[in-house]
Structure 1
Amino acid sequence: MESHLQELCTSMSTLNSRSEQIMKFLLRSGTASIEEILAEVGSSAPSIRRDLTQLEGRGLIRRTHGGATLVEPLLYEPFRYDRSFQAREERFASEKRRIGLAAAELVLANETIGLTAGTTTTHIGRSLRHREHIQVVTNAINIGMELCNQPGIRTFLTGGAVPWAWSFSLTGNAALNYLNDVYLDKVFFSVTGLDPARGCTTLEADEALVFRKMLKQSKRVILVADSSKLGRVSPAFICTLNEIHHIITDTSATDAQLIPYRDLGIEVTRV
């Protein structure tokens, strides 16, 4: 009996590890065939198919003919015909996917993290969906939607008002008051501009206030921004560079662009 139980536990451990490998591979590639998954993960085709069936049952992937694809992005029905939203989702999509995956790797079990509204932070949320024992605080309605059906993640929305049409971002006093009572291990935030002299900026002042509050409540502050944001300045100030511990960007960012941040002691990762 004890031997059988040990074998069962070993089998489950292998399954969990293999499923984790499959998810990481799909998070990098978006879609893959059974043959590509086998080459990446090993094991046997029947075992891979069983794992894919379980992952599909959790709403993490969708089986395709001969392979699998991530369930992403969610179909936000009101945005189906909004071309500006679709363009925002598709702009630097591969870079944002890589940044999101790298950021998610920094999240440890039993941590409480903050995710601000933004397309890059949305990719972090997607890269966490298969994880367990994580609490996520966010002011982004869509990130809440994408995480709410995963039993391993507790998701908290700040509350607040949607400041403009076609926005997922919650702002205002309700959001700020909620964050007064929250302490975060790490916060991941996005920007529309990052400049050595002007710091971190975004488009809307109300949103910047919520971002700033979330940063203040966190032990570690991590900026996620594709290289197109470097050197830009937007109207609403979020924070100075001295408040940032880590920047994750893509490989198109040049050494010259990143020197000012490294000189300040900020850890910089290119993916």
Structure 2
Amino acid sequence: METNLPWFGNERQAHIYKLIDELGNIKVSDMSKRFNVTEETIRRDLERMEKEGLLTRVHGGAVPLKKSDTEIPVLKRQNKLVMEKEAIASKAATFIEDGDIIALDSSTTTLRMTKHIKAKDVTVITNSVAVTLELANQKDITVITIGGYLLQDSMSFVGISTQKVIEDYHVDKFFFSCTGFDVNRGISEVHEMQAQIKKKFIAISDKLFLLCDYSKYGIKSLVRIDDLPNIDYLITDHKMAVNDVRNIRNLGVNTILAD
């Protein structure tokens, strides 16, 4: 065990801590299968680790210890679940047609979409600095950057001025991610200002595409953005549990599992 890690009651808790740091969140059911112990054992581990100030428990799992309005820095997020995000981004890009006006949020998955749309003739509206820079030199793509207050962790613009600018636009398709999504809680976000930006984009968009890997399912975060049935497409990966996919499809959501 690494010497710079906190003290743990057992080796399993140390591994759980490292997984949370790597993935951004974990589910009790996944940890139960991984370590071949009961879900109740994992819940006791998480309860003890939360008391030690090592994580924050959420419904069905746990997330890293952080302030409720703090995002995981974009440079850290973009190195997690790379294959899953790439598959989702590639599939999402197939829904974009020449002439579309699309909006992209500041998620790392939509950032990955940019390399798949560079040959298209589209207009992109975004509050993401990274997306703006990635598409800046594409002659067939018109990029509209929504300015405002800069969040350094996510390198994105938020705030009242950003929201007001968004209200004046119309979008054909909005591609976005979130902190967590759940059949009952719906779509939720850890950062309140990011949540408000996404709500504004949702309000002006004809079609909504939620891009989320399997690890985000069952996570109920601070700010609720919308109900799952209100989105047109959920694009996720093949690691989503069959029963979870069935429950989402029963809500009437077009659910696509990216290769």
* TM-score (normalised: structure 2): 0.70
Residue from 186, 208, 216 that aligns with 1:199: 186
Q: Using the alignment, how far apart are the partners of 1:255 and 1:191 within structure 2? A: 21
- Residue segments in structure 2 that go unaligned for 5+ positions in a row: 1-71
CA positional deviation for 1:203: 1.2
How many residue pairs end up in the alignment? 187
Letter in 2 for 1:205: E
Given candidates 129, 144, 149, the residue that maps to 2:132 is: 144
Q: Give the drift of 1:156.
A: 0.5
One-letter identity of the residue aligned with 2:208: V
- For residue 28 of structure 1, what is the aligned residue in structure 2? none
Q: Which of 229, 234, 239 is equivalent to 2:221?
A: 234
SS in structure 2 of the partner of residue 117 of structure 1: coil
1:161 is the counterpart of 2:143: no
Q: Where does structure 1 lack aligned partners over 5 or more consecutive residues?
A: 1-82
Q: Could you say which residue in structure 2 is the equivalent of 1:135?
A: 123
Structure 2 residue 72 is matched with structure 1 residue 112: no
> Is 1:246 equivalent to 2:244 in the alignment?
no
1:116 partner amino acid: D
In the TM superposition, residue 85 of structure 1 has moved relative to its aligned partner by 4.7
Alignment of 1:1-271 (within 5 A): 85-129=74-118, 131-163=119-151, 165-271=152-258
Identity of aligned residues (%): 28
- Bigger proportion of residues as helix: 1
Query: Alpha-carbon deviation of 1:236?
Result: 1.6
Amino acid at match of 1:88: R
Q: Per the alignment, in what secondary structure is the counterpart of residue 125 of structure 1?
A: helix
* Helix, strand or coil at the partner of 1:208: helix
1:234 is paired with a residue of what secondary structure?
A: coil
- Asked if 2 retains the 8 angstrom alpha-carbon contact of 1:112 and 1:135, the reply is yes
TM-aligned CA deviation for residue 90 of structure 1:
1.3
Amino acid at match of 2:225: I
CA distance in 2, matches of 1:132, 1:258: 31
Distance in structure 2 (CA, Å) of the matches to 1:215 and 1:108: 19
Q: Greater relative contact order (Cα 8 A, min sep 6): structure 1 or 2?
A: 2
Could you tell me how far 1:158 is from its partner in structure 2? 1.1
The Cα offsets for residues 188-235 of structure 1, whole Å up to 9 and x where unpaired, read as 110110011111011111110000110111000010001100111111
Bigger radius of gyration, 1 or 2?
A: 1
TM-superposed CA distance for 1:86, in Å, is: 4.1
Q: CA deviation at 1:123?
A: 0.9
How far apart, CA to CA, are the structure 1 residues paired with 2:249 and 2:146? 33
Equivalent AA in structure 2 for residue 160 of structure 1: G
Find the counterpart in structure 1 of residue 40 from structure 2: none
SS of the residue corresponding to residue 270 of structure 1 reads strand
